[in-house]
Structure 1
Amino acid sequence: MPLHRSVTAAGFWLGALLPIVYVPVIVAGIDSFGRLTMFLGLIAVHALALVIGHDYSGSRSR
C-alpha cells in the first residue's frame, strides 16, 4: 500500500472516530484555558483529518 493511501486511510478513520473523544472532554467541562486549548486543538486535528481523509476510496459505496 503506497504511503499516500495509508495516510488518506488514517485521516479518514481518525476523522470518523475522533468525535468519540469530544464526549469526555465536554462532560469534564471546559472551565480553564488549558482545557479550552485542548478542545480547540482537538477540533483543529479533526478538521485536518477530514481534509486529509476525504479522498479515501473505502468510504464510497460501490
Structure 2
Amino acid sequence: MFRDHFPSLHPGRFVSTSFNRIERLVQTIAFWTATILPVGYLPLLALGPSRFVSLPMLGQIVSINALALLLGHGYRNESEETEDADSE
C-alpha cells in the first residue's frame, strides 16, 4: 500500500535510477579524461620519453587514454539530448 502511493520509492526504480546516474558520471569523467589527457602526453612525446618519463610509464598513460576512450564513447551532453528531442 505504501509503495502504491509513492512509486518513486520502489527499490527497483531507485536502483535503476542510481545505476543510470553512476553510468552517466563515469561516461562524463571518461570522456573528458580522454579529451584532455593527450594535451599532457603529447609534449612528452615531443621531448622524448627518456627525459621526463620512462617508456613503460608513457605506455601506461596511453593505455589509460585508450580505456577512457572506450568508457566515454557514449557520452552525450545534456544540451545535445534536448536538441535531438526537440527536432523529433
Give me the TM-score of the superposition, normalised by structure 1.
0.79
Gapped runs of 5+ residues in structure 2? 1-19
Gapped runs of 5+ residues in structure 1? none
Count of residue pairs brought into register by the alignment = 59
Task: Name segments (4+ residues, structure 1) moved above 3 Å.
Answer: none
Matches within 5 A, 1:5-16: 5-16=24-35
- Correspondence for 2:61: 42
Give me the TM-score of the superposition, normalised by structure 2.
0.58
SS in structure 2 at match of 1:57: coil
* Offset, 1:26: 2.1
Deviations 1:29-61 (A, max 9, x none): 2228x6101110011000000000000011xx5
Matches within 5 A, 1:1-62: 2-31=21-50, 35-58=54-77, 62=84
Distance 1:20 1:47 in 2: 14
Query: Whose relative contact order is higher, 1 or 2, with alpha carbons under 8 Å and at least 6 apart?
Result: 1
Distance 1:43 1:4 in 2: 23
Q: Which amino acid aligns with 1:51?
A: L
